[in-house]
Amino acid sequence: MAAWIGVIFHADRGSQYTAAAFAQVCDGFRIRRSMGRVGSSYDNALAESFWQGLKRETMHQRLFSTVRQARLEIFQWLTYYNVRRRHSALNYLSPVEFEQQHLRADKLSIAA
Q: Which amino acid is at 12?
A: D
DSSP helix/strand/coil, 38: coil
Q: Is residue 78 assigned to a domain?
A: yes
Number of domains forming the structure of the chain: 1
Residue 89 pLDDT: 82
Q: Is residue 70 assigned to a domain?
A: yes
Q: Is residue 90 assigned to a domain?
A: yes
Q: Is residue 7 assigned to a domain?
A: no
In degrees to the nearest 10, what's the CA dihedral of 37, 42, 48, 53?
A: -160
Q: Considering the entire predicted model, what is its pTM?
A: 0.60
Q: Is residue 29 assigned to a domain?
A: no
**pLDDT tens digits for range 18-62:** 899 999 999 999 999 988 887 777 777 777 788 888 999 988 888
Alpha carbons within 13 angstroms on the beta-carbon side of residue 75 total 6
Q: Is residue 60 assigned to a domain?
A: yes
Question: Residue 93: which domain range?
Answer: 37-111
